[in-house]
Amino acid sequence: MGRKERAEERRKQRQQEISLLRTIPYSDHQRWWNSETIAVVTGANRGIGFEIARQLCGHGLTVILTSRDSAIGREAASVLQEGGFNAVSHQLDVLDPSSIEQFAEWVQQNYGFVDILINNAGVNYNMGSENSVENAENVIATNYFGTKNVIKAMVPLMKPSASGARIVNVSSRLGRINGRRNKIEDSALRGQLEDVDSLSEEVIDQMVHTFVEQVKDGTWTSAGWPQTFTDYSVSKLAVNCYTRIMAKVLSDRPEGEKIFINCYCPGWVKTAMTGWAGNVSVEEGADTGVWLALLPDQSVTGKIFAERREVHF
């Protein structure tokens, strides 16, 4: 059996393990949520976001789906409502600060709080190019700044509780600092990103700003950036790093006010965003995000996961 065949065999075995895990119900002492638990899922009108919302509804939560297009969002929510689930929708464009502000105000007025925030809204890499940078500014603005701005708007609304509120960022293994295919070659930058004690929001913002400027002036190719799905990889690297620093900030809050934040890679999922060319079903792609959102273990924060396993940054 060759290397590819062995890898495929391991992948299938792992998928079978995950499928089995999904059939095991949470015991009563692990179940910290109920029908009044509010979860927000961004970009939830289709694909991974919709499936995450569907699975959370299936666990009995109340889910707010967001979509840039109000009508499409209402249609997605109605599908869940017809299935007997407690789901509503609201417009949210993560690129528009006023849209984020209006959404936060609506949540506060109608629910008062949220327990879970899952940041799924984003844009994918250019399927036709492994070194996509044509839309770098938009990819960075959506995937990193959009995610960050939604978190900042929603943190004040996250419900204090003994169980702790949860934030899950849908990210990617392509955004690892020392990824096999997408390693950051700049040793000084890599050192800054690896040192979580000195890592800051300013460092991450400067990194993506430098990247975008180098894309504009054409110097990015010799600057040590990832050479595969470049703009997407940098955007998800920023999300992963921001997750780490937010974990420090949010875990320093007093008991009863803590917020646990993690990110995860859903894999190459068969959705419209990947041109239906992925090798992971949407149910499997959503699974780890839902698992993290409902995880009873409150010690898990500031980490990245794939297939319910922690992976290195």
Q: Chain centroid to CA 194: how far?
A: 20
**In this structure, what are the phi and psi dihedrals at residue 134, rounded to the nearest 5 degrees?**
-60, -35
Block residue for tokens 């792609």: 285
- 26, 125, 144, 232: the active-site residue: 232
Q: Chain centroid to CA 187: how far?
A: 27
Amino acid at 67: S
232 catalytic per annotation = yes
Q: What residues act catalytically?
A: 232
